[in-house]
Structure 1
C-alpha cells in the first residue's frame, strides 16, 4: 500500500499533519474525508511517498547512485545533506512500481522468521538478517520498511497493513496480529501453512478445471477452423470435377457451408454468454453466488467446501485464545476461508447469535448451514471438553489430508477424460480426411446406374 502525508488547518487555526496508508489516491481521499469529519480540520495538501533516484558524493570519493522513498525531492535533498553528502541530482523514478513478490518468497520469509524467533532471536535482528538475504527486490524493500517503521515506534498492525501489496491482505493482517500477541511463532507458522495450502489449492484447481477447459476450448476452435475453412478447400475441388462424395465427406462439407453462412451468429452464441457470464462472475454479487453454488457441485464441490472449512479451522486455531473476546478471531477466520457465501453466513448469523443472544460457538456455527456434520461434531466435543483449539486443528489436518487425496484423484480422472476427448476428435478428423483418398473420378463414357 502507498503512504500519504497530509497537511491541514484545524478550526482553531492550528496546523494539522499526519500520515495514512491507502492503495491509491482515491482511497486516500476517502479515508481523509472521514478523518476530516471526525477531527474537524480542512485539508491543505496531500502528498504521496514516491521513489526518487539520487546521485551524491562525499568528499573526493566516487559518486554514488541510489534510490530512496520520500514525499518530495526537496525533503530527500535535505536528508542527504544532513548526513554529509553533496547532492548532485535527485529525480523521480520514471517507472515507480514493484511487482508483487512470489508466494513462495513470502512463505520463505514467514517460515524463516518463525524459525529464528523460536531460537529467541530479537525480531529486529530477524528482519535485518532476512532483509540482507532475500533476493526479491520488492520483498526486500518491504522488510526494510517494516524494520524502519517498527524502530520508529509505530504499531505492528499499522506497519504490516501498509505491506498488503507485498505480503497479501491475509498475511499482512496475520503478521500484524502476531506482533501484539504472545505466540508469534505459532501464528507465523500457521500463516505460512495457510499460504502454502492456498498456493497448492490454486495449482490443483488449475490442473483440475482451468487447464482442461482451455485445452478443450482450443481443440474445438482448431476443429471448427479445420471444418469451416481448410476442409472445404479440398472437398470442393472434387465437386468441380463432378465427383460423387462419400457420406462422411458430404456431411462434413454441408457442415462447413453451414458454419460459413452463419459464422457470426455461431460466434455470438458462443462468446456472448461466456463474456456476460464472466462479467457477472467477477462482480461482487456474482462472486457471492458463484461461491454459494460451487460448493454444491458434485465431486469438486465437496473438495472446495471442505478446503474452506479447513482454512477456517486453521486460522481459528492460530488466533483463538480460549478466554476473553474471540469475536475478531471468528471474523478473521471467516474472511480467510476464501468463500464469500460462507463468510457472509458466519458474519451475519454466527456473530450476532454469539453477541446478542449469548449462544455458544458451535451452536452458532451450526445455524449457518455451511459446516459439515463431521466438523460440527468434532468442534462440539472439543468445546465440551475444553479442547476446542486442539480439536479445530485436528479438523483442519483431517480435511487437509482428505481434500489432498480427493483432488489428486479428480485431476487424474480429468486428465483421462480430456485425453479420451482429444482422441475421439483427432480420430474423427483423421477418418474424414482419409475418406477423401478413396474418391475416384468417373471414367469417361461410364454412367452411374
Structure 2
C-alpha cells in the first residue's frame, strides 16, 4: 500500500497532520474528503510518499548515492543537510518496480518464523533475522513494514491485511490472529503447512492435467496436419490417374476436404463454447456451480472434495479454542476450504442453524450435505469425547495421506488414457497409410 500524509486546518485553527495508507491516490483522496466533511477540516495538502535517488557529500568524504522514501524532494534535502551532507542532486525515481514475492519465499518466511518462535525467540528479533537473510526486495520491504507497524502498536489485521497480495487472503488472516491466539508458533506452523499443501496440490494438479492436455493437443495437431495437408497430397495422385480409392482412404479424403472447407467454423465451434465456459466459471454464480458439481466427478472429484475437507479440518484444529461453538472459526475454515459451494453451505446452513435454531455442530454440519461420512464420524466422536480439536487434526492428517496416494493414482490413470489415445491415433494413421500403399492401378484398357 502507498503511504500518504495529510496536512489540514481544524475548525479551531489548529494544524492537523496525520499519516495513513491507501491502495492509490484516488482512494486516499476519498478518505480525506470523508474526513473533511465529518470533522470540518480545511485541507492544505495531501502528499504521497515516493522514492527519491540522491547524491550527497560530507566535507572531505567521497560522494555517496542512495535511495530514500520521502513526501517531497525538499523534505529529503532538509534531512540530508541536517545530517551534515551537502546535497548534489535529488531526483524522483521514475520506475520503482518492487517485483513479486515467490510462493516459496512466503512459505519460508512463515515456516522459519514458526521454528524460531518454538525456540522462544522474540518476534521482533525473528523479523530482524529474516530481513537480513531475505534476498527478495519486495519481501524485505514487507518485513520492514510489518516490524514498523507492530512497533507502532497496530492491530494484527491492519499489520498483515495490507500485505494480502503477498501472503494471500487466508494466510494474512491467520497471521493477523496469531498474536491473540495464545499460541503464536502453532498458528504460524499450521499456516505454513497449509501453504505447503496448497502449493503441492496445485503442482500435482498441473502435473496430472497440464502435460497430458499438452500431449493430447499435440497429437490432435499432428493428426489434423496429416489429414488436412499430407494425406490429400498423396491420395489426389491416385485420382489423377483415375484409380479407385479404397473405402477408408476415400472417407479420409472426404474428411480432409470437409476440414479444409469448414475449418473456421470448426475452430469457432470449439473456441466460443470454451471461452464462454471459462468466462462463466469466473463469475460468482459460475464458480459456485462449478464447485458444486466438480466434487461429483468420478476420481478427480473425490480427490478435490477430500482435499477441501482436509483444509477445513486443519484450519478448524488451528483456531478452535474449545469454548462455545466458535462460529468465527467455522466461518474462517469454510472460507479457506477452496470450494465456494462448500463455503456457502457451511455458512448458510450450518452456521445459520447453530445461531438461529441452537443446533449442535455435528447436526449442523450433517445438514450441509458437503461432508463425507468419515468426516462426520470423526467430528461426532470428538464432540462426544471432548476432543473435537484433536479429532479434527487426525481427520486432516488422514485425508492428507489419502489424497497424496490418490493423486498418484489419478496421475497414473490419466497417463494411461493419454497413452491409449496416442496408440489409437497412431494405429488409425498406420492403417490409412497402409491401405493407401497397397492401392493397385487400373489395368483395363
TM-score by length of 2: 0.90
Q: What SS class does the counterpart of residue 89 from structure 1 fall into?
A: strand
Partner of 1:264: 264
Aligned residue pairs: how many?
445
Give the C-alpha shift of residue 29 in structure 1: 6.2
Distance 1:397 1:10 in 2: 59
Distance 1:314 1:270 in 2: 41
Mean CA deviation greater in 204-213 or 116-125: 204-213
* Structure 1 position 414 matched with structure 2 position 414: yes
Distance 2:256 2:322 in 1: 69
Mean CA deviation greater in 67-76 or 396-405: 67-76
Residue correspondence of structure 1 range 325-364 to structure 2 within 5 A: 326-364=326-364
Partner of 1:390: 390
Partner of 2:377: 377
* Inter-CA distance 248–357: structure 2 relative to 1 (3 Å threshold): same
* Inter-CA distance 2–225: structure 2 relative to 1 (3 Å threshold): farther
Mean CA deviation greater in 348-357 or 290-299: 348-357
Partner of 2:321: 321
Q: What SS class does the counterpart of residue 262 from structure 1 fall into?
A: helix
Task: Indicate the RMSD between aligned Cα atoms, in angstroms.
Answer: 2.8
* Structure 1 position 120 matched with structure 2 position 117: no
Q: What SS class does the counterpart of residue 90 from structure 2 fall into?
A: strand
Partner of 1:186: 186
* Inter-CA distance 428–55: structure 2 relative to 1 (3 Å threshold): farther
Partner of 2:276: 276
TM-score by length of 1: 0.89
Distance 1:350 1:180 in 2: 26
Q: In the alignment, which of 436, 442, 447 is matched to residue 444 of structure 2? A: 447
Partner of 1:105: 105
Distance 1:43 1:353 in 2: 50
* Inter-CA distance 205–40: structure 2 relative to 1 (3 Å threshold): farther
* Structure 1 position 135 matched with structure 2 position 135: yes
Q: What SS class does the counterpart of residue 54 from structure 2 fall into?
A: strand
Gaps of 5+ in 2: none
- Asked whether the 8 Å contact 1:157–1:179 carries over to 2, the reply is no
- Asked whether the 8 Å contact 1:138–1:166 carries over to 2, the reply is no
* Structure 1 position 399 matched with structure 2 position 399: yes
- Asked whether the 8 Å contact 2:325–2:361 carries over to 1, the reply is no
Give the C-alpha shift of residue 270 in structure 1: 1.0
Distance 1:53 1:296 in 2: 58
Gaps of 5+ in 1: none
Distance 1:35 1:388 in 2: 47
Residues 316-351 of structure 1 show CA distances to partners (whole Å, capped at 9, x for unaligned) of 111112226732222211111111111122222222
Mean CA deviation greater in 163-172 or 185-194: 163-172
Give the C-alpha shift of residue 277 in structure 1: 0.5
Give the C-alpha shift of residue 414 in structure 1: 0.5
Partner of 1:208: 208
Give the C-alpha shift of residue 229 in structure 1: 2.7
* Inter-CA distance 49–341: structure 2 relative to 1 (3 Å threshold): farther
Distance 2:342 2:2 in 1: 31
Residue correspondence of structure 1 range 44-123 to structure 2 within 5 A: 47-123=47-123
Partner of 2:163: 163
Distance 1:81 1:164 in 2: 38
- Asked whether the 8 Å contact 1:7–1:46 carries over to 2, the reply is yes
